[in-house]
Amino acid sequence: MKKIIYFFVLSFWAISLSAQDKMYTTYDELMRDGGDVVTTLNKSKRSKNQIYLSPGADYEIYSKGNKALTKYLKKRCYAVRLNDTIYVNCKQLKYKKYRFGNWYAQAEIIGGNVYFQAQPLGQIATSTLVPKEGSKLGGAVGDAINASGLDAKVYYVINPSTGLADFVGKEMMSKLLSSNPVLLEEFSNENSERADVIGKYLQQLR
């Protein structure tokens, strides 16, 4: 009986550890899963109105009742892990000369690289589709959101050498799939570089 109880205690302890939230200061710290364990982080998804009025990524990460920690999360933290999901701080990232703005974007580590979803910037933005839900917002704000394509997302990968983000489009995805002729042929028939399309093939690289 004691062995059974001991087993369940160990199992609960292991689950608790795996569910702990973490903050990462650098890219290297994120990749080796170093960082600091925290228990006071909160997440909220920003509305389309908020994104329109204050451009940036989709998620706000903060700490209720701890202004100092919230300030650190906004300005200096590189990434966080909440419930096994990674979020990177877009304030720390750029694509070429373009900045992603503030707030956090959901990310994944695939094949030793960090991929995240964000709004298309620069020339990439020309292929952005009209948002699916923008029309549900009435008035001037709804019209503006419809025009700006806030729902459209594409994938970027963080370049560890430069610290910048590279666009994951047709060219890069084709190189990533070069060792899998079947998937490469399937991908060659795609006509979109949106996150929902690229993400489908990125998952095959796990």
Q: What is the DSSP string of 15-39?
A: HHHHT-EEEESSHHHHHTT-SEEES
User: How far is 78 from 95, CA to CA, in rounded Å?
Assistant: 16
Neighbours of 206 (CB within 10 A): 8
Given a cut of 60, whether residue 26 has pLDDT beyond it is yes
Nearest to 93 by CA among 42, 25, 154, 163: 163
- How high is the pLDDT of residue 150? 58
Given a cut of 70, whether residue 13 has pLDDT beyond it is no
**pLDDT (mean) for 99-105:** 94
- Tell me if 127 sits within 8 A of 146, measured CB to CB: no
- How high is the pLDDT of residue 206? 87
Nearest to 61 by CA among 69, 53, 51: 69
Q: Rounded to whole angstroms, what are the CA distances from 9 to 18, 37, 56, 64, 108? A: 14, 21, 43, 30, 31
Q: What is the pLDDT of residues 144-180, one digit of tens each?
A: 444 445 568 999 999 999 999 999 999 999 999 999 9
Parallel, antiparallel or unpaired: strands 104-110 and 98-99 = unpaired
Banded model confidence at residue 52, pLDDT cuts 50, 70, 90 = confident
Nearest to 158 by CA among 202, 206, 117, 200: 117
Banded model confidence at residue 2, pLDDT cuts 50, 70, 90 = very low
Residue whose token pair is 């100092």: 68
Q: What is the pLDDT of residues 132-143, one digit of tens each?
A: 444 444 554 444
- How high is the pLDDT of residue 6? 42
Global pTM?
0.80
